[in-house]
A and B are shown apart, each in its own frame.
Chain A
Amino acid sequence: MANLWSMLTATRNKGRWDWTDWVSYSYLFLGVFLMFFPVIWLVLSSFKTEADLQRYPPTFLPYQQETVMVEGFDEPLPLFRMTAGDYEGQTLAQLRRVGLQAQMIDPANPAERLRVSIDDREPVQGVALALENYTGLFERFNFLRFFWNSTFITVTATLIMLLVNAMAAFALSKYEFRGRTTVLLLVIGTLMIPQTVVLVPLFLIVSELGMLNSLWGVIIPGAATPTGVFLLRQYMITIPDEILDAARMDKASEWKIFWRIILPLSAPAIAVLAILAIMWRWNDFLWPLIVLTQSENFTLQLALNSFQGELQTDWSSLLAMTVLTLLPIAAVFMFLQKYIATGIASTGGK
Chain B
Amino acid sequence: MISLSRINVTFNTGSRTVVAARDIDLRVDEGDVFGIVGYSGAGKSTLVRVMNLLQRPSSGDVVVNGQKLLELKPKELRSARKKIGMIFQHFNLMKSRTVYDNVLYPLKSSRMPKADKDRKVRELLELVGLSDKLASYPSQLSGGQKQRVAIARALANEPRILLCDEATSALDPKTTLSILDLLRDLNRKLGLTIVIITHEMQVVKEICNKVAVMEEGAIVEQGDIVSIFSEPKQPLTRDFIHTATHFGQTVEKIMSHPSLARMGDDDVLCKISYVGSRTSEAIVSDIATRFGVSANILFGNVEVLQQTPVGSLIVVLSGGRSELENALAYLRSLDVTVDRLDSPEKATLGGERIV
* Binding between chains A and B: no
Chain A residues with a Cβ under 8 A of chain B? none
Chain B residues with a Cβ under 8 A of chain A? none
